[in-house]
Structure 1
Amino acid sequence: MGKKKVWGFIQSMGRSFMYPIALLSVCGMLLGLGSGLSELTLVKETAALNLIVSLLVEIGAFAFVNLPVLFAMSIPMGMLKDKEAKSYGAFAGLVGFMGMHLGTNFYLSTNNLLVPAEEMATSGQAMVLGIQSYNTSVLGGIIAGTIIYLLYPKIVAIRIPESLGFYSGPRLVPILSLIVMVGVGLLMPFIWPPFFNMFMTLGRWISSSGPVGYFLYAVAERVTIPFGLNHLVTSTFRFTPIGGSAMIGGEEYFGTLNMFMAYVKENQVIPLALAGKMEQGKLMIQYGLAGASLAMYQCAKKENRKSIQGLLIAGVLTVIIGGVSEPIEFLFLFVSPALFGFHAVMNGLANMVLPYLGVRMGFTGDLIQFLSFGVLRGTRTGWPIAVLVMIAYFFIYYFVFKWAIQKFNIMTPGREEPVTIEAQETMLSTEGETNTAYSQGKEMIAALGGKENIVSLDNCVTRLRLIVANMDQTDEQAIKRAGGIAVVKLDEHTMQVIIGTKVYDLRKEMDVILGGEQND
């Protein structure tokens, strides 16, 4: 049961990261768009257009300036179960985050350790929501949010005198959170400096390892996808000192994505060392997966090609436009781990080589980001070279997949029983709509062993995340007939069902059938 709790905690933590990351992606595109448009002569010479573009840049920068507190709020909101707990937990996350920095500020001020404004960046201090404290960046938000999540059930269980009943239950959480987190803040001056130095040393080692480090990082990001832990890997690099640090525009930034957005705001091209850790290889493998999809289509039996056409087209559109690769990856991951290994290596190679070819686009996880951070910012980003590599990857994947499927008779879609293909197509085709009778949700619940067997139900971008009482009561084939692309069993109680981008709608159906939306 301890292992089950660990998996559940890790999965919930990864899912809670999606709230700020979703906001970041939109703000990032606005920032890239504004930065690119600001270079146009028409914009420079037109006051009204210049103001609009400047506003776009400010809106885009919002999420990055406030990222730590967004994580502090999103972790309890994402990990706590019922709606009341989520709302009070998010509020307590904000209060606790401010309390932590308030405590640190008190210690630093009483010991005359606060530095002048012009020295803050070089001394590891910063203004955090108006409080001068250590620049703990996103790590501080994660620490605060995690502590609040762990404290919440203990605080709501406290019984206080009836005369003070107004302050009992959830209302007590932000009150005690403030007190506890001030105490944590008082301890930060003793804990944070050595912890921070350890992270900085690790970050410098990764940065100094050059091509090898860029390769291994990108491979690790892919191979953790089957376990749903890829977001934890990327978030560590994007938002913590492990991703590196840089002084940009007179301020110090930690994490690859924070540094990248600061360079975009300053309208500068990112340096080579940062480009190698910006997951640029993702864009290449997306077009590679398009080539793999064409190969799978051509290798399918002729009588089955029409039935898988919608499945593959939807997958290609999802990966190129939305940057979500799992719907295609899980079509071959389990039937051929070797092909997935090839796919992971190709991601590593692209990430390693692109910076040395002059590609400095940075974070380009989908088509819109490619246009915003690459094309609109000019050829200095190296986007024309990236297009050539995309084309090369399309054909490399196409020929490798076609050869491997035919040579080793790999059972990719269209080469197996039609019933499974049709079930997958029904789920992933953009034309399919969920009916009002919740039939698909009922079918999925039955395949998972019924209501009594489902201990916990959650979802991320593409998959259901479940804890079940008895894994033997689940039926993998029935799960696939209900719309699952693949099933990942992490231990005897924890499993994931890969669905695709319609996973949220399916989970909402299942919530209603299960008798509530406590996992929303």
Structure 2
Amino acid sequence: MMQKIQKFGGAMFTPVLLFAFAGVSVGIGTLFTTEAIMGSLAAPTSMWYKCWNVFLQGGWTVFNQLPLLFAVSLPIGMAKKQNARCCMEALVLYLTFHYFVNTILTQWGGVFGVDMSQEVGGSSGLAMIASIKTLDMGMIGALAVSGVVIYLHNRFYDTELPEWLGSFSGSTFVFMVGFFVMIPVAVLAVAVWPKVQLGIFAFQGFVKSAGALGIWVFNFLERALIPFGLHHLMYSPFYYDNVVVPGGLYAYWAKLLPQIAASTASLKSFCPEAGFTASGFAKMFGCTGAALAFYNTAKPEKKKKVFALLLPITLTAIVCGVTEPIEFTFLFVAPGLFVVHALLAATLATTMWLAGIVGINSGGLIEIASLNLIPLMRNHWQQYILMLVIGLIFTGIWFVVFRFLILKFDFKTPGREDDEEIEFGSKEKFREKQAAKGQAVSDDPDVELCQMILEGLGGKDNIADVTNCATRLRVNVKDETICKNDAYFKAIGTHGCSVNGKAFQVIIGLKVPKIREVFESLL
């Protein structure tokens, strides 16, 4: 079950990869179309405004179509065969489902306590999906319907029909089966979801009223769930769905940008719920403090090598907001440090919230600049100076705490490993082993890396399935006892390997999509 949940979490991250550029586009478009920042140049009647408004509206594409995007993207990571065709099936059956919901509620809405005459949004519980007025089920509904389609695709896609029915095989057969399945699914949705919406509204009230405690708990869990690959499931409903604000925090904040940019009021006064997206502070300030502690406590003869390791992965965390490469350098050798890391991350996020500093701060410097600093600096620079001061203070706290714990408990963080514990010659040994077998080693470093990863996972016959998230190659194996340990994977050039039963997550970095393609070609 854990393998399936992890695979689902990784697949759900596929559309999230688009949000970085979409967020930058919205931030830049908002900056250049806000009259409070650009003056008369950005007047709604000016050519400047009209041209940049075209750019801005294009940037809204991803955020305006999130449910559709999640429905179409899930099969990329979950379908066992013909992923592209499954994406098409998910699209058409998701739309079919909403047409069923629309018709049922238009005819019998009163029976289910839904008034279809209301405007979409707000407390109506209604939304517009691909021009279909329907129940606002957000990302959850999209994932549920897409999950049903993926099951049908995996079960029926290869069904052999009589020759005279051959034109109804493959995707057509899946659509035929799915068409009839979506009818009871739609009936179930209109019967259950309005009650779920009441629960969601109640949860929103609780989270909003929990104040600093709610911010702390959420941000702690967001970090603490990273080793299990389940953090996407934690934050996605908050960021991209209607859990705390309509449309999710990303879209809601972006729509507020012109209003916030024109005001000098506290950022928190506009959207206190945006404190839930504060994980980026730990990525920028916390990872920097941790890296400084690793370098400071490394053995003198290894400091140069540790610096070369830490510099790129720390910059990746700061600029891009991708922390797995640095966090996985110490997660398994010092899990206690990771717990402290999560505690400090939650405390930093809560401190920022108490200081009135909120916004879309879940990513790295690029995202934070585009959705906060650039469009809002003019009238809110004092708060961003305060943000920098608080962040640097916590960088010092991270450094002092990590340094103390590393030395106190002799954690084998980067540069402190016992030489005999890690096979630094693994690449050379792999080449020698291949030569002894009479097998050539590729000149392509990506192919060679994948060959070594495959060897560490017990060979291609031991691979059950493979997918990836932003930085990890996620592989389910058949027999975990024949796989190598974390030290092996670090020695061959990856950032390590997280293991949970038969589920292996090899930490690659941002080039993992390319590595996955090469890896799959070897299978």
Q: 1:256 to 1:424 in 2, by over 3 A?
A: farther
Listed as ranges, the matches of 1:504-519 within 5 Å are: 504-514=513-523
What is aligned with 1:49? 48
Number of equivalenced pairs:
491
C-alpha distance in structure 1 between counterparts of 2:90 and 2:311, whole Å: 42
C-alpha distance in structure 2 between counterparts of 1:464 and 1:89, whole Å: 22
* 8 Å contact from structure 2 (residues 280, 363) kept in 1: yes
C-alpha distance in structure 2 between counterparts of 1:437 and 1:465, whole Å: 17
C-alpha distance in structure 2 between counterparts of 1:442 and 1:481, whole Å: 14
Question: How far does the alpha carbon of each residue in 1:270-313 deviate from its partner, in whole angstroms, 9 at most, with x for none?
Answer: 635312222x2422442221122122112111211122222100
Q: 1:385 to 1:56 in 2, by over 3 A?
A: farther
What is aligned with 1:518? none
What is aligned with 2:495? 485
What is aligned with 1:215? 216
Q: 1:397 to 1:436 in 2, by over 3 A?
A: closer
* 8 Å contact from structure 1 (residues 257, 363) kept in 2: no
Amino acid at match of 2:519: M
What is aligned with 1:90? 87
Secondary structure at 2:89's aligned position in 1? helix
Pairwise CA RMSD of aligned residues? 2.6
Q: 1:66 to 1:51 in 2, by over 3 A?
A: same
Secondary structure at 1:68's aligned position in 2? helix
Amino acid at match of 1:295: A
Shifted more, 395-404 versus 114-123: the winner is 114-123
What is aligned with 1:447? 456
Shifted more, 190-199 versus 417-426: the winner is 417-426
Q: Say whether 1:261 aligns with 2:254.
A: yes
Question: How far does the alpha carbon of each residue in 1:354-408 deviate from its partner, in whole angstroms, 9 at most, with x for none?
Answer: 1221212333411112211222222437322211122112222122222222232
Q: C-alpha displacement at 1:187, in angstroms?
A: 3.1
Amino acid at match of 2:461: E
**Unaligned segments of structure 2, at least 5 residues:** 262-266, 429-441
Secondary structure at 2:329's aligned position in 1? helix
Q: 1:80 to 1:326 in 2, by over 3 A?
A: same
Q: Say whether 1:29 aligns with 2:27.
A: no
What is aligned with 1:398? 399
Amino acid at match of 2:368: F
Secondary structure at 1:127's aligned position in 2? strand
Listed as ranges, the matches of 1:128-167 within 5 Å are: 128-167=129-168
C-alpha distance in structure 2 between counterparts of 1:447 and 1:151, whole Å: 34
Amino acid at match of 2:69: L
Q: 1:73 to 1:348 in 2, by over 3 A?
A: same
Q: C-alpha displacement at 1:103, in angstroms?
A: 0.7
What is aligned with 1:370? 368
What is aligned with 1:430? none
Q: 1:112 to 1:81 in 2, by over 3 A?
A: closer
Amino acid at match of 1:220: L
Question: How far does the alpha carbon of each residue in 1:326-349 deviate from its partner, in whole angstroms, 9 at most, with x for none?
Answer: 111112222222221221111111
Secondary structure at 1:438's aligned position in 2? helix
Q: C-alpha displacement at 1:215, in angstroms?
A: 0.3
C-alpha distance in structure 1 between counterparts of 2:286 and 2:156, whole Å: 51
C-alpha distance in structure 2 between counterparts of 1:34 and 1:194, whole Å: 38
Q: C-alpha displacement at 1:87, in angstroms?
A: 1.4
Shifted more, 474-483 versus 153-162: the winner is 153-162
Q: 1:118 to 1:473 in 2, by over 3 A?
A: closer
Identity across matched positions, percent: 27
Q: Say whether 1:194 aligns with 2:204.
A: no
If the length of structure 1 is used for normalisation, what is the TM-score? Answer: 0.87
Amino acid at match of 1:501: L
Shifted more, 470-479 versus 315-324: the winner is 470-479
Q: 1:120 to 1:445 in 2, by over 3 A?
A: closer
* 8 Å contact from structure 2 (residues 77, 467) kept in 1: no
Q: 1:104 to 1:290 in 2, by over 3 A?
A: same
What is aligned with 2:466? 457
Listed as ranges, the matches of 1:84-483 within 5 Å are: 85-111=82-108, 115-116=116-117, 118=119, 121-241=122-242, 243-245=243-245, 253-264=246-257, 271-278=270-277, 280-376=278-374, 377-378=376-377, 379-380=379-380, 382-417=383-418, 420=422, 435=444, 438-476=447-485, 477-483=487-493
Amino acid at match of 1:330: F
Q: 1:438 to 1:112 in 2, by over 3 A?
A: closer
Amino acid at match of 1:64: F
Amino acid at match of 1:75: L
Question: How far does the alpha carbon of each residue in 1:395-441 deviate from its partner, in whole angstroms, 9 at most, with x for none?
Answer: 22122222222232221111124584968999xxxxxx982582222
Amino acid at match of 1:218: N
Question: How far does the alpha carbon of each residue in 1:239-265 deviate from its partner, in whole angstroms, 9 at most, with x for none?
Answer: 334x313xxxxxxx2433333233236
Amino acid at match of 1:296: F
Amino acid at match of 1:23: L
C-alpha distance in structure 2 between counterparts of 1:112 and 1:470, whole Å: 52
C-alpha distance in structure 1 between counterparts of 2:137 and 2:279, whole Å: 29
What is aligned with 1:17? 12
C-alpha distance in structure 1 between counterparts of 2:363 and 2:191, whole Å: 39
Secondary structure at 1:276's aligned position in 2? helix
C-alpha distance in structure 2 between counterparts of 1:424 and 1:217, whole Å: 40
* 8 Å contact from structure 1 (residues 286, 319) kept in 2: yes
Q: C-alpha displacement at 1:495, in angstroms?
A: 2.2
C-alpha distance in structure 1 between counterparts of 2:449 and 2:122, whole Å: 54
If the length of structure 2 is used for normalisation, what is the TM-score? Answer: 0.87
Amino acid at match of 1:345: L
Q: 1:7 to 1:43 in 2, by over 3 A?
A: farther
Q: 1:19 to 1:488 in 2, by over 3 A?
A: closer
Shifted more, 109-118 versus 157-166: the winner is 109-118
Amino acid at match of 1:258: A
What is aligned with 2:437? none
C-alpha distance in structure 2 between counterparts of 1:407 and 1:204, whole Å: 44
Secondary structure at 1:132's aligned position in 2? strand
What is aligned with 2:507? 498
